[in-house]
Structures are given as C-alpha cells and as structure tokens.
C-alpha cells in the first residue's frame, strides 16, 4: 500500500504541473485510454479559470442530502463551509454535513483543475473503482465509500462518513448527491 500512495503522490505532482499520465492534450484519447475532459482555460495570470464559482455547500445542499437518504425536509442542517487551498488548487473548498441522527457527508470541490486530480486517481486506483455514468466521468470506490465526479474542469469528491440507517446504500446515496452537484455546474 505504501508504494501505491507514493505512486499517487507522484501522479498528483505531475497533475499539478499540468500533465497527467495517459492523458493527451485537446481531450483526445491516449493509447488505450478514455478521452480526457477538456482542461480548464487560463486567464492572463496563468491560473486556471474556475469551472464554477459555487462553493461545495452550494453545489451540494442539505436538500440534496435529504433526497438521497429519503429524509424529511429540514432533517439536515446547513453545511459548514471551509476553504482548503493547497498547491494543486487555490480555490479548493469543502462542506461538511454531520448529525448523529442521520450521518455525515464531506463534499470537496476542486473548481478549476479537477480533471488532473480525477485522472490521477483513475490512473492509480482505477482498478478498485466502479465507473458511474455521470458528467464527464465518475468513479465509485466501494472499499472507502468515495465518489469522484467530474464535469469540465470541476471535480467533486463525496464521502459519506457514516449513515445511521442500517443497510444504507452508500453508492446510491453518493451517486444521487453527485448528480445533483453536477447539474449545478
């Protein structure tokens, strides 16, 4: 497992430089790979232009969580938003929805160059993922209950940390919330 983490770190560093293994420019397929989503365009300063100005809490609302889990309206409180910029994304942010009565969901958004992160995750961990038909690409990881959703340059990462309901379908809930987020981009 440490070698896979080192591989992911190397791939993400390549993504930060604007390159991803197995991807070619212009959204054309590379040898044996699927087409890449178009890269974010740059504005004058060389920074990628965001594909959305919406925050993680605006892309995924309390009502989306309620619908995905079949909860009564008003059950899920508004999310807690936090900017979490890093060297890969100056605009990366997250929203946390948590309540012991129903569960918890963490929404992370990379609004300006998520395609490189998505490609890196797919390239390194893709064998462990189920492909979901949504947006420009979506992956479901049953082992860690994460969903990655891509539309243009925007990547949305969803992870239900827990769902109170016994036998809850984490995948169905994640896909429902992911599709709602993609519809707003």
pLDDT digits (tens, 9 = 90+) for 68-127: 999 999 999 999 999 999 998 999 999 999 999 999 999 999 999 899 999 999 999 999
- Mean pLDDT, rounded, for 17-25: 34
Listed in sequence order, the DSSP H helices in the chain are 2-16, 56-59, 62-69, 114-125, 170-184
Per-residue pLDDT tens digits for 156-181: 999 999 999 999 999 999 999 999 99
140 or 25: which leads in pLDDT: 140
pLDDT at 88: 86
Query: What's the confidence (pLDDT) of residue 50?
Result: 82
CA distances from 53 to 109, 110, 162 (A): 11, 11, 28
Predicted local confidence at residue 46, as pLDDT: 58
For residue 131, the SS3 value is: strand
| d(C-alpha 84, C-alpha 109), whole Å | 10
Q: Tell me, what's the pLDDT at 159?
A: 97
Q: What is the pLDDT of residue 34?
A: 36
Determine the length of the chain: 185
pLDDT tens by residue, 40-50: 444 445 566 78
Instruction: State whether residue 138 is helix, strand or coil.
Output: strand
Q: Kind and range of the H or E element at 19?
A: none
């Amino acid at each position: 497992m440490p070698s896979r983490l080192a591989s992911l770190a190397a791939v993400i560093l390549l993504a930060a430089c604007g390159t991803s293994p197995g991807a070619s420019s212009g959204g054309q397929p590379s040898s044996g790979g699927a087409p890449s989503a178009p890269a974010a365009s740059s504005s004058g300063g060389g920074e990628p232009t965001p594909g959305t100005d919406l925050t993680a809490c605006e892309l995924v609302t309390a009502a989306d969580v309620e619908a995905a889990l079949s909860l009564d309206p008003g059950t899920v409180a508004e999310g807690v938003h936090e900017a979490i910029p890093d060297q890969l994304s100056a605009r990366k942010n997250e929203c946390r929805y948590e309540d012991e009565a129903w569960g918890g969901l963490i929404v992370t958004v990379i609004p300006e160059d998520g395609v490189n992160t998505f490609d890196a995750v797919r390239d390194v961990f893709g064998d462990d993922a189920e492909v979901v038909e949504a947006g420009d690409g979506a992956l479901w990881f049953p082992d860690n209950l994460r969903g990655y959703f891509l539309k243009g340059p925007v990547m949305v990462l969803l992870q239900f940390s827990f769902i109170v309901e016994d036998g809850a379908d984490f995948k169905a809930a994640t896909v429902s919330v992911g599709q709602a987020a993609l519809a707003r981009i």
